[in-house]
Amino acid sequence: MDQIPILSLITYAPLAGAVILFLLPRATERAARWVALLGSGVSFALSLAMLAAFDRSATGMQFTEFIDWLPGLGIAYRLGVDGISAPLVVLTTLLSLISVLASWDPIRRRVREYYISLLLLETGMLGVFVSLDLFLFYIFWEVMLIPMALIIGIWGSANRVYAAVKFFLYTLAGSLLMLVGIVAVYQAYFEQTGVRTLDVLELAQGTYGQAFQMWAFAAFFLAFAIKIPMWPFHTWLPDAHVEAPTAGSVILAGILLKMGGYGFLRFNLPLFPDATRAWAPFIIVLSLIAIIYGALVALVQPDLKKLVAYSSVSHMGFVTLGIFALNAQGLYGAMIVMISHGLVTGALFLLVGILYERAHTREISAFGGLHRSMPVAAAFWGLFAFASLGLPGLSGFVGEFLAILGGFRVYRWAGVIAMFVVILAAWYMLWMLQRIVMMRAPGEPPDPDDPELRLAAVHGVPPAAGGAGPRGQAVDPRTFPDLNWKEFATLAPLAVLTVWIGVYPGYLMRILRPAIEQALAAFGRIGL
Amino acid sequence: MPVQLVAPDWSLLVPPLIVLGTILVLLAADLVLPRERQAGLTVVALLGLALALTSLASIDWSAKGVTFGGMYRADSFSLFISLVALIAGVLSVMVSAGYVEAGIEPGGMALAEYLSLLLFSVLGTMLVGAAGDLLMIFLGIEMSSLAVYTLTAFARRRLTSIEGALKYFLLGAFATAIFLYGIAWVYGLTGSIMLDDIAAALRGSVRGDAPVEASLLLALLLLAVGLGFKVAAVPFHMWTPDAYQGAPTPVSAYMSVVPKVAGFAAMARVLVQGLNPLSQQWLTLITVLAFITMVYGNVVAIAQRDVKRMLGYSSIGHTGYMLAALAAFTSLQPGDRSVGSLLFYLFAYAFMNIGAFGVVAWLQERGQGVNLEDFQGLAARSPLAAFAMSVFMLSLMGMPPLIGFYAKYYVILALIEAGLLWLAVAIVVMSAVSAFFYLRVVTVMYFTEPAGAWQPARTRMLGAGLAVMALGNLALGLFSGPVLDLAQRWALAFA
Convert A202-253 into a string of H (helix), E (strand) and C (coil): HHCCCCCCHHHHHHHHHHHHHHHHHHCCCCCCCCHHHHHHHHCCHHHHHHHH
For residue A470, the model assigns a pLDDT of: 47
Are the Cβ atoms of B431 and A187 closer than 8 angstroms? no
Confidence band of A225 (pLDDT split at 50, 70, 90):
very high
Confidence band of A473 (pLDDT split at 50, 70, 90):
low
Are the Cβ atoms of A113 and B383 closer than 8 angstroms? yes
Number of other CB atoms surrounding residue A487 within 10 Å: 22
Task: With a cut of 60, say whether residue A465 has pLDDT above it.
Answer: no
Note whether A67 contacts B: Cβ–Cβ < 8 A.
Answer: no
Instruction: Report chain A residues whose CB lies below 8 A from the CB of B435.
Output: 168-169, 172
d(Cα B354, Cα B340) in Å, to the nearest integer?
Answer: 21
E strand or H helix that includes residue A76? strand A75-81
The stretch A488-496 carries a mean pLDDT of: 92
The minimum CA-CA distance between A337 and chain B, rounded to whole Å, is 31
Task: With a cut of 70, say whether residue A373 has pLDDT above it.
Answer: yes
Helical axes B403-417 vs B338-365, angle rounded to 10°: 150
Tell me the sheet residues that pair with B194: B133
Are the Cβ atoms of A146 and B436 closer than 8 angstroms? no
Choose the closest CB to A183 out of B401, B412, B436.
B412
Mapping DSSP to helix (H, G, I), strand (E, B) and coil, where does residue A345 land?
Answer: helix
The stretch A414-442 carries a mean pLDDT of: 86
d(Cα A365, Cα A380) in Å, to the nearest integer?
Answer: 20
d(Cα B260, Cα B258) in Å, to the nearest integer?
Answer: 5
Per-residue 3-state assignment (H helix, E strand, C coil) for chain B: CCCCCCCCCHHHHHHHHHHHHHHHHHHHHHHHCCHHHCCCHHHHHHHHHHHHHHHHHHCCHHHCEEEHHHCEEECHHHHHHHHHHHHHHHHHHHHHHHHHHCCCCCCCCCHHHHHHHHHHHHHHHHHHHCECEHHHHHHHHHHHHHHHHHHHCCCCCCHHHHHHHHHHHHHHHHHHHHHHHHHHHHHHHHCCCEHHHHHHHHHHHCCCCCCCCHHHHHHHHHHHHHHHHHHCCCCCCCHHHHHHHHCCHHHHHHHCCHHHHHHHHHHHHHHHHHCHHHHHHHHHHHHHHHHHHHHHHHHHHCCCCEHHHHHHHHHHHHHHHHHHHHHCCCCCCCCCCHHHHHHHHHHHHHHHHHHHHHHHHHHHHCCCCCEHHHHCCHHHHCHHHHHHHHHHHHHHHCCCCCHHHHHHHHHHHHHHHCCCHHHHHHHHHHHHHHHHHHHHHHHHHHHCCCCCCCCCCCCCHHHHHHHHHHHHHHHHHHCCHHHHHHHHCHHHHHC
d(Cα B15, Cα B42) in Å, to the nearest integer?
Answer: 19
Instruction: Report chain A residues whose CB lies below 8 A from the CB of B413.
Output: 73, 183, 186-187
d(Cα A57, Cα B1) in Å, to the nearest integer?
Answer: 87
Instruction: Report chain B residues whose CB lies below 8 A from the CB of A172.
Output: 432, 435
Are the Cβ atoms of B446 and A150 closer than 8 angstroms? yes
CA dist list (Å): A71 to A204, A475, B480, B481:
19, 62, 11, 8
Helical axes B421-447 vs A160-193, angle rounded to 10°: 150
Instruction: Report chain B residues whose CB lies below 8 A from the CB of A70.
Output: 480-481, 484
Confidence band of A359 (pLDDT split at 50, 70, 90):
confident
Q: Which residue of B has its CA nearest to A176?
A: B428
CA dist list (Å): A348 to A312, A494, A507:
11, 10, 24
Instruction: Report chain A residues whose CB lies below 8 A from the CB of B481.
Output: 69-72
Tell me the sheet residues that pair with B371: B306
CA dist list (Å): B415 to A184, A227, B409, B427:
10, 27, 10, 10
- Tally of residues, chain B: 495
Determine the residue type at A320. T
Are the Cβ atoms of A164 and B435 closer than 8 angstroms? no
The minimum CA-CA distance between B480 and chain A, rounded to whole Å, is 8
The stretch A490-504 carries a mean pLDDT of: 92
E strand or H helix that includes residue A381? helix A375-389
Number of inter-chain CB pairs under 8 A, A vs B: 77
E strand or H helix that includes residue A262? helix A257-263
Of B257, B239, B254, B319, residue with least CA distance to B92: B254
Of B246, B239, B244, residue with least CA distance to B156: B246
Q: Are A116 and A22 in contact (CB under 8 A)?
A: yes
Instruction: Report chain A residues whose CB lies below 8 A from the CB of B432.
Output: 169, 172-173, 176
CA geometry: angle at B353 spanning B347 and B356, to 5°?
A: 145
For residue B317, the model assigns a pLDDT of: 94
Give the residue, A174 or A34, on which the prediction is more confident: A34
E strand or H helix that includes residue A81? strand A75-81
Are the Cβ atoms of A70 and B429 closer than 8 angstroms? no
The stretch A165-192 carries a mean pLDDT of: 88
Instruction: Report chain B residues whose CB lies below 8 A from the CB of A25.
Output: 383
The minimum CA-CA distance between A256 and chain B, rounded to whole Å, is 18
Residues 6+ apart with CB under 8 A from A278: A210, A214
Q: Tell me the pTM.
A: 0.89
d(Cα B176, Cα B134) in Å, to the nearest integer?
Answer: 12
The stretch A72-94 carries a mean pLDDT of: 90
Q: Sign (positive/negative) of CA torsion B281, B284, B286, B288?
A: negative
d(Cα A200, Cα A209) in Å, to the nearest integer?
Answer: 18
Q: Which of A202-211, A339-348, B474-483 is modeled with the greatest confidence?
A: A339-348
The stretch A383-389 carries a mean pLDDT of: 92
For residue A176, the model assigns a pLDDT of: 85
Half-sphere exposure of B300 (CA within 13 A, CB side): 20
Choose the closest CB to B412 out of A113, A142, A180.
A180
The minimum CA-CA distance between A449 and chain B, rounded to whole Å, is 52
The minimum CA-CA distance between A180 and chain B, rounded to whole Å, is 7
Mean pLDDT split into 10-residue runs, chain B, 495 residues: 71 91 92 82 92 91 84 90 94 84 71 90 94 92 92 83 89 91 92 89 78 86 92 88 88 92 93 88 92 93 90 94 93 85 94 92 84 85 88 91 91 90 90 89 85 73 85 87 86 79
- Tally of residues, chain A: 528
